Amino acid sequence: MKKTILFSLLAVFMGSLVFTGSKTFADELSGYDIALKVKNANKSTKRIVWSKLTVKEKGKVVEQRTLVLKTFRKDNKDKALFRFTSGLKRDVTMLSIEQEEGKDNIQYVYTPGVGRPRQIDSSEKQNNFEDTDFTNEDLGARKIEDYTYKRLGDETLKIGKQSFTCFVVVSENKNPNAKYPKYKTWIDQQSLVPVKIESYGKDGTMKKTGVSAAVKEVKPGIFMSYYVYAKDLETGHESIMTVTNVVMDPSDLSENLFEPANMSKPWKEK
């Protein structure tokens, strides 16, 4: 969960006035401009999010898990911890650490059976995380400079009970060996939350689709989605994440927790 997982993953940069105050200015934004604004939007210093994850295969529920996400922001860089707190993946934990441009973001995964964190290789960016339909890249490995961007015409989408006026951006991976070389993303102009995404394979066909809905303002100028859905179109595998609780700026969340050596430590959040 972007940034963020890609949809959440995870403060509106310069506020919503950037888009509501001047339609002409919004029209002039390039695909890269929009991607950069999304990257910098909806940030908070500290946050804890509780979610319920439902995993389906061919329409049938095969597993339910609970998930806790903790984020910490310092010097304009984010650190995020994801931990499954129930289900078959109980206590499996991922740590994502944002690096400056020009360097890959760092990710570790801790599995109780292994007993120590393992650093995720950059070649694993687009692998699915722990039997979900969210990739490691979705959970903090993506770098804005890894892609080129093209803005398409704006569109209006209705998802659930909400309607969104969206920027539409196609991003293409600079790595010719990428599993998903192209994404098409619909981004709500008001909140800068990506609300729909399509992932394309090397053959040019759509391989995954997803939506992000129930967008709420959790703090003035900070928006997030309370419902995230992703589906693998080839296997029929689905992941549905529903947020159950959010705490903004918790006073007892320390940066020391966001270290590989501390990934095995117990959490009070369950």
What are the pLDDT tens digits along the chain (270 aa)?
333 333 333 322 222 223 333 345 678 999 999 999 998 899 999 999 999 999 999 899 999 999 999 999 999 899 999 999 999 999 999 999 998 878 888 999 999 989 899 999 888 877 888 888 887 777 765 778 889 999 999 999 999 999 999 999 999 999 888 889 999 999 999 999 999 999 999 999 999 999 999 999 999 999 999 999 999 999 999 999 999 999 999 999 999 999 999 999 999 886
Contacts of 164-170 with CB under 8 Å at 24 or more apart are 164/188, 164/189, 164/190, 164/195, 164/215, 165/189, 165/190, 166/195, 166/196, 167/29, 167/34, 169/31, 169/34, 169/35, 170/31
> In whole angstroms, what is the distance from residue 183 CA to residue 193 CA?
15
Strands (E), the chain: 46-57, 60-74, 77-84, 93-97, 106-110, 117-119, 147-159, 162-173, 182-188, 194-200, 206-219, 222-232, 237-248
For residues 32 and 104, what is the distance between their CA atoms, to the nearest angstrom? 19
Backbone angles phi, psi at 53, to 5 degrees: -110, 125
Nearest to 2 by CA among 35, 39, 44: 39
Token readout for 166 is: 């969206």
CATH fold of the domain at 17-249? outer membrane lipoprotein receptor (LolB), chain A (2.50.20)
Report the predicted TM-score, pTM, of the whole model to 2 decimal places. 0.86
Angle (nearest 5°) at CA 219 between 161 and 70: 95
Domain ranges (residues) in the chain: 17-249
Separation in Å, CA 115 to CA 91, 260, 262: 11, 12, 12
